Structure 1
C-alpha cells in the first residue's frame, strides 16, 4: 500500500506566482496511525487519531496487520500516558475476530504492568468477556502489594470474583497455584517454561497467604489434594504441614521449604522432623521455617532448652541480657519500634524464644565474632553497598568452623549494589541459607554509627518476605559491634555489643 507523505509540503513561491497561486502552503494529511504513534502529538490528537485507524484500513490507506501491531505497540508502551494506551486497547477490541489475540496481549502485559489504571481496565475487560485464561496473570499482578490499596479493593480481586463466582477468591488463587504446575500433556515441565511457571506459582502462594493469613482455608485446600502427581511444591507443602507442622507464609518461604526438603539428601529435613515430633502443643504453636535451624543447633549444643517452656526460655534470655551493653538506634527510624525484650516477650512464640537464646550465645564464639568484624571492615571500605551473609551451625564438617557457629560472607553482586546504606541479598546468599540460623548484614559506614544501630523498615520487610531470623551488626566503635535480632513478626531485640578480641 502506498502511504501519503507524513511531512508538510510547501509549493515553491516562484511556482505559485507563475501559476497565479494565491493560496498559502498546502498540508498533506498524515495517516491516522502516524499521529497515533507520534510522542510529540498531544494526547487529544493521538486519541482522536487512534479512533480513525480502522477507517484508514477500510479506505486502503493502511494494512490491517501493520495497523494492529502499531496499536499493540502503543498499548504496551509504559512511557505513554494511560488514556492513550487505553484508547489503543479499545480500538484493538474493535477488531472482533482478533479479540483472542488482544486477550493474550493483556495476559502478557498484566503481571508486570505498573499503571493501576491499565490494570483496572484489563481486569474489567477480563470480567466482561469471561477471559478465564487471564487468571494466572491477574493473580501474578495482584501478588504485588499496592500501597494504600487494601486487597479487598483491588480490581484483581473483583475480576477473580466475577470470573469464578461459584467459589471463594482464595480457592481461585489456589487453583492457579495447582494448574500452573501442570503441562497440557501431563508431562513434567522443563527448561525456561518450568522456571516461568514456578515464578507464577510462588507469586500465587504469596497472594494466597495474604488473603488467608490464618491459613485455615489453605489447610482445607491442601487437605483436599489427594494426589500430588510428583509436583515438588505440593509435595513440600504436604510434608511441611505433616512433618514440620508449618505452612510457609510467602512464595519465597515456599521456595525455602522446597530447598530444605532436598538439602543434604534430605538429612536436614529428617533431623528437623524428628525434633519437631518431640515438641508438645504449646512448643509447636507458631512453628516456622526460621525455627528449624534453632532446633537443630539447640539439640547439638544446648539440648536442655528443648524441654523448657516459652516462659522458661524467656526468663533465661532475660538473665543473659542483664548487664550486657546495648545501643539503641538514635536516628529517626522508619521502623518506629524499640528493641527491648520486655516490649516483645508476650508476642514471642516458643520457637522465637529459642532463636533469641541461640543469638545470645553468638558473643561467646570468638572465631565467629572475629569473622564478623572482618566483614564489617570490608563493608566500611566499600561504599557501593552494605555487606551481609548467613550464620550457620559450627558443627563438625562445616567449612571454617571454629566454634558453635560459622559465618558465611555473601556480598551483593555488582548489579545489586544500590549504595552505602542498602543491602540486597544475593542469589548465592539465598541459595546457601537453606540450613542457616540467621541472615545478617552490616551497618558499617563509619566506626561511630550508633544512630543506625537497628533495622530499618526495609530490613523488617526483608525478614517478613523471606521468613528469616535476621541480625544487623552496627559499628558503635572500631572494636565494638552492636547486634540487633529482628524477626518476621516485626519484633526487634537488641542482643548486645560484640567486642573485638585484642
Structure 2
C-alpha cells in the first residue's frame, strides 16, 4: 500500500513545542517523552541530563520511559547516574522500578554500588516482599560479589568504611549481619582487640559487650548505646553495670539495651526484683492484675493479619525479665494519686487539643522517684499521631518509658491500646512504651508494648476521687 509523505508525518509522534517541558512532565505520554529525548539527544545540555536524572526517582514516570533515560545517562554521565542512585535508591517507592534498577546494576557489573544496595536492603519493606532472601537488593549484592561472600562483604564494609562519611552504612552493615544470624561472628570481631583498636564504633560495642554482656541488634540500639556512653550519662552507665551484675545469670545473657533503664529503676525503687527470675516476676504481675480487678480493654485487629494479642497469659513465654519488671514498676508507680492526677490532667488537655496526641517520657527523677515529662511533639497537625522529638529521645535514653495518649474522647475504647503505627514505632526505636487511653471519664487504660510486636494490657487506672 502506498502512503504519502504527509501521512507519514502525521503518524510521527511530536515532542511538542518545548521538548524539555514534555520530558519533565510526568503526565506526558511515554511516547511523547521518548520523542522529546530523541530531539534533546542531538545537543545534550546539562539541563537535559538533570531532567534525565530526576526521572530515576521522581514519581509518575512509566518504567519504560525511566529505562530510556537510564540508557542515555549511562552514556552521558555514568558517575552522575551512580550518584543519584546512591541518594535515591534506598528511599525509592516505585517498587517495580526499584527492582529493575537492582537488575541493571548487576547487568552493568557496578560492584562499587554494593554499599548503596546494602543501604537499600536495610530499609524494611515487609509489605513488598515477604522473605528477606528474595529482596532484589540482597540478590544483587550476592550476584555482584558471590552469594557465599555476602557475610564477608558486610563485615568488610563494617570494619573498613569511613567512620565519618559512612557512619550510617557501618551501622546498617551491623544490623544486616544480625539479621542474617551472624551474632557470633560479631562477638568474635569485638573480641579481637587487634581489629581497629582506635575505632569509636567498635570501641563502644566492645564496652557494651565486655561490661554488660550486651551485643546490640539494630542501628537504633547502637545509637542508644552511644548516647549512654556520653560523659553526661556516665553515672547512669555505672548504675546500669552495678544493677545488671545482680541479675540472675540466665537473665544477664539475654539483656537488651532497653532493659538497662529498667534495671536501674528497679535498683532504686524495688531492688529485691533484681534477684527474681522472669517466672517469679510473671507471678507478681499476674497476682497484681487479678487483685486490681480492673477491666481489660483490647482493640480488635481483625483484618490486619498476624497474631496480635494483649493477654498476659498468652504472652507469658515471650516476656523477658525487662518486660515483666517494667510492668511491675508501671503498675506500682500509678498507685500514687499524684502521678495518676498528673496523667489525667495531661489526658484532659490532650482531649481538648485537636492538633496532636500528647506524649513524653516517664523516668526516675533526681530525687529517686518516678516522674512524667511531657514533651512537645516534633510537629503538630494530626490528632491521631504523636511525633517524637529529638529532645524526647535525648531524655528517654535513661528513661523508663516512651509514652503517648489516645484521648480523642472520654469513650475511646475503640482506639484503646497500641495500633500498627505504634508497633512500627516500637520496632524502630526498640523502646519500652506505654499508651494511655480514655475508656471513660474516670478511667485510663494502660498498655505496655515493645518491639516484636509484644503488647500486654495492664488494666485501667482510676482518676483520683477528688477529681472524679
Name the TM-score class by shorter chain: 0.7 to 0.9
2:375 is aligned to 410
Q: Confirm or deny: 8 A CA contact 2:159 2:196 kept in the other structure.
A: no
Q: Confirm or deny: 8 A CA contact 1:412 1:424 kept in the other structure.
A: yes
How far the C-alpha of 1:356 sits from its partner, in A, is 2.0
**Structure 1 residues 228 and 351: alpha-carbon distance in aligned structure 2, compared to 1, 3 A threshold:** farther
1:148 is aligned to 128
Check if 1:164 corresponds to 2:156: no
Instruction: Return the alpha-carbon distance in structure 2 between the equivalents of residues 88 and 297 of structure 1.
Output: 58
Instruction: Return the alpha-carbon distance in structure 2 between the equivalents of residues 274 and 389 of structure 1.
Output: 27
Comparing 453-462 with 110-119, which one deviates more in the overlay?
Answer: 110-119
How far the C-alpha of 1:405 sits from its partner, in A, is 0.6
Check if 1:93 corresponds to 2:74: yes
Q: Confirm or deny: 8 A CA contact 1:285 1:349 kept in the other structure.
A: no
**Structure 1 residues 444 and 101: alpha-carbon distance in aligned structure 2, compared to 1, 3 A threshold:** closer
How far the C-alpha of 1:35 sits from its partner, in A, is 5.0
Comparing 370-379 with 201-210, which one deviates more in the overlay?
Answer: 201-210
Instruction: Return the alpha-carbon distance in structure 2 between the equivalents of residues 305 and 154 of structure 1.
Output: 44
Q: Confirm or deny: 8 A CA contact 2:357 2:383 kept in the other structure.
A: yes
Equivalent residue in structure 1 for 2:33, among 43, 46, 71: 46
* Partner-residue secondary structure (3-state), 2:328: helix
5+ long unaligned stretches in structure 2: 1-9
Q: Confirm or deny: 8 A CA contact 1:282 1:350 kept in the other structure.
A: no
Deviations 1:337-394 (A, max 9, x none): 3322211112212232222222221222333222211211121111112111111014
Q: Confirm or deny: 8 A CA contact 2:418 2:435 kept in the other structure.
A: yes
TM-score normalised per structure 2:
0.86
Q: Confirm or deny: 8 A CA contact 1:391 1:437 kept in the other structure.
A: yes
Q: Confirm or deny: 8 A CA contact 1:111 1:137 kept in the other structure.
A: yes
Instruction: Return the alpha-carbon distance in structure 1 between the equivalents of residues 22 and 284 of structure 2.
Output: 74
1:282 is aligned to 250
Q: Which has the larger radius of gyration?
A: 1
Instruction: Return the alpha-carbon distance in structure 1 between the equivalents of residues 175 and 237 of structure 2.
Output: 23
Equivalent residue in structure 2 for 1:328, among 292, 297, 310: 297
Check if 1:348 corresponds to 2:319: yes
Q: How does 1:419-434 map to 2 (within 5 A)?
A: 419-434=382-397
How far the C-alpha of 1:166 sits from its partner, in A, is 7.4
* Partner-residue secondary structure (3-state), 2:222: helix
* Partner-residue secondary structure (3-state), 2:410: coil
TM-score normalised per structure 1:
0.81
Q: Confirm or deny: 8 A CA contact 2:299 2:417 kept in the other structure.
A: no
1:218 is aligned to 186
Check if 1:338 corresponds to 2:306: no
* Partner-residue secondary structure (3-state), 1:373: helix
**Structure 1 residues 385 and 180: alpha-carbon distance in aligned structure 2, compared to 1, 3 A threshold:** farther
Comparing 424-433 with 360-369, which one deviates more in the overlay?
Answer: 360-369
1:480 is aligned to 443
How far the C-alpha of 1:135 sits from its partner, in A, is 2.2
Q: Confirm or deny: 8 A CA contact 1:263 1:434 kept in the other structure.
A: no
Check if 1:237 corresponds to 2:205: yes
Instruction: Return the alpha-carbon distance in structure 2 between the equivalents of residues 130 and 262 of structure 1.
Output: 42
Q: Confirm or deny: 8 A CA contact 1:395 1:405 kept in the other structure.
A: no
* Partner-residue secondary structure (3-state), 2:334: helix
* Partner-residue secondary structure (3-state), 2:55: helix
1:119 is aligned to 98
Instruction: Return the alpha-carbon distance in structure 1 between the equivalents of residues 88 and 440 of structure 2.
Output: 51
1:15 is aligned to none
Equivalent residue in structure 2 for 1:389, among 360, 366, 371: 360
* Partner-residue secondary structure (3-state), 1:323: helix
Q: Confirm or deny: 8 A CA contact 1:326 1:494 kept in the other structure.
A: no
Check if 1:298 corresponds to 2:243: no
Q: Confirm or deny: 8 A CA contact 2:362 2:371 kept in the other structure.
A: yes
* Partner-residue secondary structure (3-state), 1:432: helix
* Partner-residue secondary structure (3-state), 1:411: coil
How far the C-alpha of 1:206 sits from its partner, in A, is 3.7
Instruction: Return the alpha-carbon distance in structure 1 between the equivalents of residues 26 and 403 of structure 2.
Output: 47
Deviations 1:186-233 (A, max 9, x none): xxx4xxxx5xx4444444444443333x73343344445634454433
Q: Confirm or deny: 8 A CA contact 1:135 1:176 kept in the other structure.
A: no
Deviations 1:444-494 (A, max 9, x none): 111121232211122122112211111111112223211111122322222
* Partner-residue secondary structure (3-state), 1:352: helix
Instruction: Return the alpha-carbon distance in structure 1 between the equivalents of residues 146 and 332 of structure 2.
Output: 54
**Structure 1 residues 490 and 40: alpha-carbon distance in aligned structure 2, compared to 1, 3 A threshold:** closer
* Partner-residue secondary structure (3-state), 2:398: coil
* Partner-residue secondary structure (3-state), 2:128: coil
* Partner-residue secondary structure (3-state), 1:278: coil
Q: Would you say how many aligned residue pairs link Structure 1 and Structure 2?
A: 448
1:9 is aligned to none
Q: Confirm or deny: 8 A CA contact 2:364 2:400 kept in the other structure.
A: yes
Instruction: Return the alpha-carbon distance in structure 2 between the equivalents of residues 29 and 296 of structure 1.
Output: 69
Deviations 1:128-182 (A, max 9, x none): 3332332222222222122131221111101211232275323323433444443
Comparing 291-300 with 112-121, which one deviates more in the overlay?
Answer: 112-121
Equivalent residue in structure 2 for 1:467, among 430, 442, 457: 430
